[in-house]
Structure 1
Amino acid sequence: MIKKFIVVLIAIVGCFSYAQQGTASPYSFYGIGSLKFRGTAENRGMGGIGSYIDSLRINLRNPASYAGKNLKADPYNGESRPVKFSVSGTFSSTTLESNTGSEEAGTSTFDYLAVSIPLGKFGAGFGLLPFTSVGYKLQDINAAQNNRIDYRYEGEGGLNKAFLSLGYLVNDNITIGVDANYNFGNTQNSAVQFVYDVNGNIVQFATREDNRSDLSGLNFNIGSAYKGKLNDKLELSATATYSPESSLSSINDRSISTLIISTLGDEFVQNTIEVDLAANNLAETELDLPSRLALGLGVGRTSKWFIGAEYVAQNTSVFNNPIFSTTNSSFEDASSFAIGGFYLPNHRSLSNYLKRITYRAGARFENTGLVVNNESINEFGISFGLGLPIGPQSRLFSEVNLGFEYGQRGTKNQNLIQENFLNFNVSLSVTDRWFQKRKYN
């Protein structure tokens, strides 16, 4: 058991070591950043669906997954559900394209750390994962004035989510559950205004506005799952989750600085003035988080194959950030649709390792809810995944999961940015038994 904890710890340290910035998307400029995917590497390999639930893998999409029966095909002989650990990280390579050029960007991020513990008819889970991410560097170029730079924008930060989950086995077919999530973190952004003389030459002095918001708040996610036999071989799965509308508390700071800009573009602060936000009731504000409804359905054969779909709707039109808003952006209700599944040739094969690999694939289509320059920002992705079993086959079901996703976000219409991204994620999923009944004392 200690060896497994060491492996998980090494994986966590490795993920945090590379998690310098969670995104390079210019669309993280808006709202509180780009929303991060809540789900495991297994979910991502199947297009992001959460409609498949079993007793051997953590499913972060639905808290009802923490409770459930053992599978007849599991390696524990039906004696007890396993304790499960999972940790994951992602490397992303993104090409940012506009009508005038393109740039490359890369990021490495920590995805999640999660633990699931069986408690009789109950099941509990806890962990940590990113909720949103901010990371951008933008320039406002004035084409009418020889493409001079009028403003430069930079941002970083994001929100994290610590969660505690509880599931309950209602009967042999139905489970229910709830997530309690504590969201915390900060977003920081700055805007530098450049000044030019009558001849169009840049003036040495410039002005920079710095904003910081420290955010925190609770929200809940309620889930249910049904799994039942259609016939001797086929099994039907149906899932539903709902997150009610909630709010975040935001403590805000703003300052204005005078800068000297060197010939190399470096910024040197000369003096800084703190802005009195309390005078405008902006020192402490609240942000509304939208409600979210997800419905999933799928069919498959136990430990053999599965295909499913999931639809998600969010009322993101209610979102508003009073401390940091723009005139060219707004929010509309968001929605997404995903389809995917897996195929496992023969999980009991002793002679052929390839037959014990789980092969996953899926696709997703999403309206993010963000509208910029009257253009809805949409996203799609195509994903593939492999579940590589590790450890003694007779004792535990543990995997190294590899996932690949190619996708596109945004558009080049209305002078916007189109992102073409390639995500590679790796996770370690380890199972063990803490509550095994002794046969001999």
Structure 2
Amino acid sequence: MIKKLGLVFIALFAIQSYGQNGTASPYSFYGIGSINFKGSVENRSMGGLGVYKDSVHINFQNPATFAGNNLEGWNGESRPVKFTVGGSATSSNLKSDTGSDKSKSANFDYLALSVPVGKFGFGFGLQPYSSVGYKLESRDSEDKMDYRYTGEGGLNKVFLSLGYQVNKSLSVGIQADYDFGNIENNTINFGYNTEGELLQYQTKEYTRSDLSGLNFNVGVHYQEMITDKLELQASATFTPQTDLTSKNERTFSTITVDTETETEFIFNDLDADLVSSNLEETDLTLPSKFSFGAGLGQPRKWFAGLEYTTQNTSEFFNPLYDNVGASFEDASKLSFGGFYIPEYNSLSKYWKRMTYRAGLRFENTGLNINNQAIKEFGMSFGVGIPVGNMFSNANIGLEFGQRGTTNANLVKENFVSFQLSLSLNDRWFIKKKYN
């Protein structure tokens, strides 16, 4: 296991060194940014499907899946300890009625450990919750830059999950998340003289919010053989509405901007009086979410399922920002997906032991801009490659997707996302056969 952990840390270092910007989407300007996918590369390669549970992969989407039955193939002994790490890189083509652009971003997606303890199972780890990374410009009637908006940051979460196997088919679980992070937003107002020349000094507004708070997720999972070969799996999760504490600061500055390098030089600052307007410390409301799904399959051979998620995004509220032209409505997502393994225990054909995944997702993000609902579509593929022993594997995922629209002077994103993870398994608790 130590050698495997060393491999994980090398991969993690490579992911982090590639880049730290979790997104380059203009839609991360709104709310707390673009919400990151909660699950693993394996889930995402099946259209985001979080219904399936097995003994060798961690399912972040439902805490009930951290529990499970002991393994008959190991004489009824305990499930393996599971360790996983993942990251992704995304390339996007941005298009509007007036032009087009390209962007790239990379992200560390998760790091987690799952440990079986009898009928219980617990896990903990780290995941980004949301990402902010945008650069937007608005121009006046003479096509001169009027405003420039930039932002970065996002929320992360440390989670602790606990699952309990009620009986052979039913498990329940609860997860506690500690969310933390910061979001920085900058707005520069460019001024011009009567001859249309850029003034020497511009004004800049800088806002920073440091966020923290707890939220919870409960889940239930059902798994039963309904024929000799056919297995039913079903799951449901619920995340109640919660508030995060936001400590805020806002500064107004006089600056000059080097038009070639876009370097900013600050001449003086003025801190905004947020105390008198009760904005120095505010509550940011995160909406409740509910999901349920089901699927059929043959263990260690194939699985196909669907899942529906609804989120009361209309509950989202942040008193610090007034997003003009934007509002939040309830969000929803429908996922279809599954996997196929030609022959999981083949000794002669390595490719037969690989897991082949595919899926689709259709999503209404809940963001509405200029009376246009911002929707997403994704088509995903993936492969699980066996490595070492004890069912450890490397997982590669590829998703082709689209977000937004060019209507109402908005931006359509066509993106390709590449994901990579390592899922390592080993037995740490082995019964002695001889005294």
1:398 alignment partner, one of 392, 397, 413: 392
For residue 43 of structure 1, give the secondary structure of its aligned residue in structure 2.
Answer: helix
Deviations 1:67-123 (A, max 9, x none): 011455x5x443210000000010100111111211111111100001000000000
User: Counterparts of 1:78 and 1:377 in 2: how far apart (Å)?
Assistant: 49
| Bigger shift: residues 258-267 or 347-356 | 258-267
User: Counterparts of 2:186 and 2:81 in 1: how far apart (Å)?
Assistant: 45
Matched, 1:35 2:35: yes
| 1:219 CA displacement | 0.3
| Residue identity matched to 1:5 | L
| 1:4 CA displacement | 1.5
Matched, 1:193 2:189: yes
Report the equivalent of 2:401: 407
Alignment of 1:3-402 (within 5 A): 3-70=3-70, 72=72, 76-142=74-140, 144-145=141-142, 147-264=143-260, 265-392=262-389, 396-402=390-396
> CA 1:345 to 1:262, structure 2 compared with 1: closer, same or farther past 3 Å?
closer
Answer whether contact 1:55 1:68 (CA < 8 A) is retained: yes
Matched, 1:433 2:427: yes
For residue 9 of structure 2, give the secondary structure of its aligned residue in structure 1.
Answer: helix
Deviations 1:204-226 (A, max 9, x none): 11000000000001000000000
| 1:263 CA displacement | 4.5
Which consecutive segments of 4 or more residues in structure 1 shift more than 3 A? none
| 1:18 CA displacement | 2.3
User: Counterparts of 1:355 and 1:78 in 2: how far apart (Å)?
Assistant: 27
| Residue identity matched to 2:110 | Y
User: Counterparts of 2:220 and 2:40 in 1: how far apart (Å)?
Assistant: 18
Answer whether contact 1:54 1:71 (CA < 8 A) is retained: no
User: Counterparts of 1:77 and 1:93 in 2: how far apart (Å)?
Assistant: 47
Q: Over aligned residues, Cα RMSD in angstroms?
A: 1.0
Answer whether contact 1:196 1:202 (CA < 8 A) is retained: yes
For residue 7 of structure 2, give the secondary structure of its aligned residue in structure 1.
Answer: helix
| 1:275 CA displacement | 0.7
| Residue identity matched to 1:375 | Q
User: Counterparts of 2:77 and 2:71 in 1: how far apart (Å)?
Assistant: 11
Answer whether contact 2:20 2:108 (CA < 8 A) is retained: no
For residue 4 of structure 1, give the secondary structure of its aligned residue in structure 2.
Answer: helix
Answer whether contact 2:246 2:281 (CA < 8 A) is retained: yes
For residue 9 of structure 1, give the secondary structure of its aligned residue in structure 2.
Answer: helix
User: Counterparts of 1:266 and 1:115 in 2: how far apart (Å)?
Assistant: 43
1:418 alignment partner, one of 409, 412, 422: 412
User: Counterparts of 1:20 and 1:65 in 2: how far apart (Å)?
Assistant: 30
Listed as ranges, the gaps of 5+ residues in structure 1 are: none
| 1:325 CA displacement | 1.9
Answer whether contact 2:71 2:78 (CA < 8 A) is retained: no
Answer whether contact 1:89 1:109 (CA < 8 A) is retained: yes
For residue 204 of structure 1, give the secondary structure of its aligned residue in structure 2.
Answer: coil
> CA 1:282 to 1:436, structure 2 compared with 1: closer, same or farther past 3 Å?
same
Listed as ranges, the gaps of 5+ residues in structure 2 are: none
| 1:440 CA displacement | 2.3
| Bigger shift: residues 318-327 or 401-410 | 318-327
| Residue identity matched to 1:356 | R
For residue 167 of structure 2, give the secondary structure of its aligned residue in structure 1.
Answer: coil
User: Counterparts of 2:82 and 2:8 in 1: how far apart (Å)?
Assistant: 11
| Residue identity matched to 1:231 | T
User: Counterparts of 2:361 and 2:404 in 1: how far apart (Å)?
Assistant: 15
Deviations 1:360-395 (A, max 9, x none): 000000000001111000001000000000113xxx
For residue 338 of structure 1, give the secondary structure of its aligned residue in structure 2.
Answer: strand
User: Counterparts of 2:75 and 2:101 in 1: how far apart (Å)?
Assistant: 54
For residue 200 of structure 2, give the secondary structure of its aligned residue in structure 1.
Answer: strand
| Residue identity matched to 1:12 | L
Answer whether contact 1:204 1:262 (CA < 8 A) is retained: no
| Residue identity matched to 1:414 | A
For residue 326 of structure 1, give the secondary structure of its aligned residue in structure 2.
Answer: coil
| Residue identity matched to 2:340 | Y
| 1:256 CA displacement | 0.3
Deviations 1:237-275 (A, max 9, x none): 110000011011000000000012335243211101111
Deviations 1:271-315 (A, max 9, x none): 011111011000000011100000010000010000000000000
| 1:21 CA displacement | 0.5
Answer whether contact 2:204 2:254 (CA < 8 A) is retained: yes
User: Counterparts of 2:406 and 2:291 in 1: how far apart (Å)?
Assistant: 30
Count the aligned residue pairs.
434
| Residue identity matched to 1:382 | M
| Residue identity matched to 1:410 | G
User: Counterparts of 1:398 and 1:3 in 2: how far apart (Å)?
Assistant: 13
User: Counterparts of 2:257 and 2:84 in 1: how far apart (Å)?
Assistant: 47
| Residue identity matched to 2:429 | F
| Residue identity matched to 1:369 | G
| Residue identity matched to 1:95 | N
